[in-house]
Chain A
Amino acid sequence: MMLIFEHSSEGRKGAPQSPAERASTAAIPDNLLRKSRAALPEVSELQAVRHYTRLSQKNFSIDTEFYPLGSCTMKYNPRACNSLAMLPGFLNAHPLTPDAQNQGFLACMYELQSMLCEVTGMAAASLAPMAGAQGEFAGVAMIEAYHKARGDDERKEILVPDAAHGTNPATAVMCGFSVREIPTLDNGDVDLDALKQAVGPQTAGLMLTNPSTLGVFERQIEAIAKVIHEVGGLLYYDGANLNAILGKIRPGDMGFDVIHSNLHKTFSTPHGGGGPGSGAVGVSQRLKEFLPLPVVTKEKGSYRYMTTDDLPRSIGRLSAFMGNPGVLLRAFIYMRLLGREGMIRVAEFATLNANYMMAEAKRRGFTLAIDNRRASHEFIITLKNEAREFHVSAMDFAKRLLDLGYHAPTTYFPLLVPECLLIEPTESEAKEALDGFMDALEQIKNEAETNPELLHAAPQTLPVKRLDEVRAAKQLDLAYRAE
């Protein structure tokens, strides 16, 4: 499809969206002015609208396709959350508006903090982090600040299970820690003996996702918490999979000291083609004073942002203002729609759907990465046998699924499982969608045996066929330049 630049025609303008004349800039010295006009497209408003509408139609999305992307919680994003977060009273609020004139917004933020504390079992929360990885950063920075405040300067190491998301080790390094990986047992639980060997006075903390990225609940969580706490470390909860346990068990009750939750997963804010997200953090009492700013508090019936005067030991700011308020509002609205009973249903139906699909996968002859365990809200198929016998890869399965109208599950993650598909249906989907997907997967398994070429050549029905990623990285073309 043509680029918007290729629709451009010199001097063409859209409907009047800007002042007709260019006001004088004579007060600005010449040497500070731009010398040539920026080469942006010159198109009519209709051309732009048509171009981007057509581009949108080249996307898979939750609104158009089943999207069982493991670890990403691609649940339905209720439309009310969007339209109500975009009311003019919210959109036109300047971030530095005095608190007294911003009470409606601050009330939502305060209540969101409270609800997050309740569902995670933590003592206090900050909504400042703008994405999961920034939530992780805030969490690990708080762990660092906590040890430092106690004069405990020798804790240089963060432990991370080998099944963890890549953001975990990357975050620990950004915070100045070294990383030690802890192996995982075949049954999906952390290797507790290896953990015991690894901990010591150098241990600052352990970052753990529970249920883990392998799609199972970590049954030894109490023992793990004990090991970490006994050596003076803290336990970090990566909230990537919170959806699986919402209202069933709370991270705070499992012994976690600090958590982040991905509001764009569990609380249904849109993924938006890659963001914006939100990685709100929650902490136990002893980490409260280190929370990132701003935090909203309530005094004498009115709300205000806390500052460094309130939290002098805060790890500081993570953004110019207040994280991603529009995302936070959407999460707030979602939580109010669900209410407490709805939240519990989220975990129940997400788990039911995943376990049903897992049972179906087994019945249809697929190999489960971890057998004889309950699935959490996701589970893993390994295609290592198909790969060996028919010379097809998990990627081939994924691409063929696209042809059949399903977004592919997460492939090649977690890294521990060869040729894997990580499947997370979420609670949003009806049984018909789950069955349709399993039928497609079974069909592809048969095709792998009878006509593997169909898989290798997939996708055939999408706007493009398989793309040359090697060329993309070697012959870098990262921006259009007019010839």
Chain B
Amino acid sequence: MLEAIGVDSIDDLFDEIPAHLRASSLEAVPEGMTEMEVSRLMHERADSNTRALCFMGAGAYQHHIPAAVWEITTRGEFYSAYTPYQAEASQGTLQLTYEYQSMMTALTAMDVSNASMYDGASSLAEAILMAVRGNRKSKSRKILIPTTVNPGYRKTAHTIVKGQQIELVDVPYDETSGTATLEKFKQTAEDDITAIVLQQPNFFGGLEAVDEITDWAHENNILVIAVINPLVASIVNPPGEWGNDDNSKGADIACGDGQPLGAPMSAGGPYYGLLCCKQALVRQMPGRIVGRTVDLDGRDGFVLTLQAREQHIRRSKATSNICTNQGLVVTASTIYMSIMGAAGLENTAAACHANNNMLVDKLTAIDGVKKAFDCSHFHETVLQLDKPAADVLAALLDKGILGGYDLSKDYPELGDAILVCTTEMRSKEDIQAYADAMQQVMAATPLEGLQETA
């Protein structure tokens, strides 16, 4: 090969790089390992992570995933394929993505879905940018976001939209119900508002009064951005049906994290962001979209479409800089939804809800544990403790229970509060084990965890 090129050594191929800039050896990179050695290292590290029973949600949920889902997803033909720009050689990925879009619109009752965004949080950021482009009646670039929206999502949205003169305004929640009420929206909305965000169920696991808030928003030419859990949407009123006014029914944009549909928790990802909208906003949609068309012989086939919105065509005038979608996770999710079916999703979601009710009943029967809010909950609930939340959680962890998410940083006004979550994965025995552990922890004086840290 060197002869064909006309050089003496591989090193000659780098002779355009100034010699004084050439790298010396990469000291800080360890020497290579065999697969056997790496395997041992990774097993040790994986095993060192906790195996505590997970009662934590807060945006990532442990659900059962049928074995077939990732078996098929990691077939080399899906795993090692590129973005389907060469449509004829990518009909597998393209048809699957079209099926994904179809399933997601069915689940959300929205008109259009794209092929996915990075995660739920970045999807919310893009939904906000989309609303600002899409609401031509509004000039303010002002978005109302209740503090019942996942704090991680709000922070991410802030990071991503702040360069574009968009104002994100917090709407405080109602202290009794732990929800974003119409009254609070009205109090915050003084003038022209571009869009509002509503999370269903909200970060506290509570169910928002989405219908009346959606109607009010539409009466005032405000777009509604729904943040949803797509598994829960199999049971709870989907965003496309929010509102009582038939003339303006439905959220305008729906986003959320697809993780509950077949993606393992995996320390935070990869998940994917779902993003759906009404037909009228389709040309404001960021990211890839697959459409069905025909080939030269009139046979059905699938292509990436509306590419004139995207960065590789429009460059600085694109709807977003996004290029990648979370293709492989969407592959898993599509297979997951096919295997589960709507009935399977409903039964799973209902089990999460029922298990959480069971857990909350057992925990709130313990002295020093009470519910923070009186709204309906889906599968997460805020509990207030009369002992330091961090210490209680640490003591629970010692007993093999990952007991929930400490809210004291994000919501200091709630005092010692934790967000608990129960999915269909937790058996009656698991739930009893949590209740027993909590009983012991709350009864102990001083807290075992406290002793250690004192």
Contacts and interface: CB of A to CB of B under 8 A. Distances in A.
Given A84-B38, A89-B45, A92-B265, A270 B80 contact: yes
B86 A131 contact: no
B236 A61 contact: no
A249 B331 contact: no
A374 interface: yes
Interface string A217-257: 10101100000000000000000000001011110011000
Contacts of B121: 317, 319-320
A477 B156 contact: no
A208 B313 CA distance: 19
B345 interface: yes
19 contacts: A22-B343, A24-B350, A32-B210, A37-B346, A45-B68, A60-B89, A103-B49, A104-B48, A133-B322, A170-B320, A217-B17, A273-B96, A275-B328, A336-B30, A348-B10, A351-B10, A352-B2, A472-B291, A481-B102
Given A336-B33, A374-B16, A103 B316 contact: no
A276 interface: yes
Contacts of A335: 29
B315 interface: yes
A320 B305 contact: no
A69 B324 CA distance: 16
Interface stretch (B56-64, B138-146, B217-225): B56-64
B20 to A, nearest CB: 9
Interface stretch (B70-78, B185-193, B362-370, B429-437): B70-78
A327 B81 CA distance: 15
Is chain A's interface secondary structure helix, strand, loop, or mixed overall? Answer: loop
Nearest to B95: A55
Contacts of B62: 92, 94
A78 B76 CA distance: 11
A374 B347 CA distance: 61
Contacts of A63: 76-77, 79-80
A404 to B, nearest CB: 12
Interface in A37-56: 37-43, 45, 48-49, 51-53, 55-56
A271 B290 CA distance: 18
B91 A58 contact: yes
A382 interface: no
Contact of B77 (A64, A134, A469): A64
B118 interface: yes
A261 interface: no
B49 to A, nearest CB: 5
A292 B328 CA distance: 25
B269 A324 contact: yes
A255 B302 CA distance: 45
Contacts of B341: 12-14, 40-43
B13 A355 contact: yes
Nearest to B322: A133
Interface stretch (B167-175, B332-340, B440-448): B332-340
A76 B80 CA distance: 8
B417 interface: no
Given A273-B328, A318-B159, A102 B267 contact: yes
Given A31-B237, A58-B95, A337-B35, A321 B152 contact: yes
Contacts of A33: 235-237
B257 interface: yes
Given A335-B29, A466-B295, A478-B98, 16 more contacts: A32-B236, A32-B237, A34-B237, A59-B78, A77-B80, A84-B38, A84-B39, A93-B267, A130-B269, A167-B311, A273-B78, A273-B90, A274-B324, A275-B329, A464-B88, A479-B106
B282 interface: yes
Contact of A40 (B98, B106, B292, B320): B106
A144 interface: yes
Contacts of A32: 207, 210, 236-237, 376
Given A69-B82, A80-B38, A95-B60, A320 B150 contact: yes
B217 to A, nearest CB: 17
Give the interface size bracket for A toward B: 35 or more
B378 interface: yes
A18 B424 contact: yes
Contact of B424 (A19, A137, A173): A19
A325 B60 CA distance: 13
A479 to B, nearest CB: 4
A144 B160 CA distance: 13
A197 B318 CA distance: 27
A312 to B, nearest CB: 14
B17 A249 contact: yes
Contacts of A337: 32-33, 35, 38
A185 interface: no
A172 B301 CA distance: 35
B326 A276 contact: yes
Given A82-B74, A253-B23, A478 B113 contact: yes
Interface in A245-303: 245, 247-250, 253-254, 264, 270-277, 292
A268 to B, nearest CB: 10
Nearest to A16: B344
A259 B280 CA distance: 38
Contacts of A82: 74, 79
Contacts of A95: 59-60, 265, 267-269
A343 B269 contact: no
Nearest to B47: A89
B88 A459 contact: yes
Given A60-B81, A275-B327, A318 B160 contact: yes
B18 interface: yes
A170 B301 CA distance: 30
Given A96-B58, A476-B282, A478-B289, A104 B35 contact: no
A179 interface: yes
A136 to B, nearest CB: 7
Report the 9 A-B pairs with minimum CB-CB distance, sorted nearest first. A339-B32, A63-B76, A89-B46, A272-B328, A321-B268, A104-B45, A274-B327, A95-B268, A176-B163
Nearest to A54: B92
B306 interface: yes
Contacts of B105: 479
B264 interface: yes
A450 interface: no
Contact of A137 (B1, B28, B160): B160
Most A C-beta atoms less than 10 A away, residue of B82, B353, B376: B82
B92 A58 contact: yes
Interface in A349-377: 351-353, 355-356, 358-360, 363, 373-374
B438 interface: no
A14 B339 contact: yes
B153 interface: yes
B41 interface: yes
Given A39-B106, A84-B39, A222-B18, A101 B29 contact: no
Contact of B48 (A103, A136, A216, A468): A103
Contact of B324 (A217, A276, A465): A276
Contacts of A317: 121, 152, 155-156, 159
Contacts of B389: none
Contact of B78 (A137, A272, A277): A272
Contacts of A173: 316-318, 321
B338 A115 contact: no
B233 A28 contact: no
Contacts of A359: 4-6
A90 B15 CA distance: 43
Contact of B91 (A3, A39, A342, A463): A463
Nearest to B327: A274
Contacts of A216: 16
Interface in A133-180: 133-134, 136-137, 141, 144, 165-167, 169-177, 179
Contacts of A344: 26
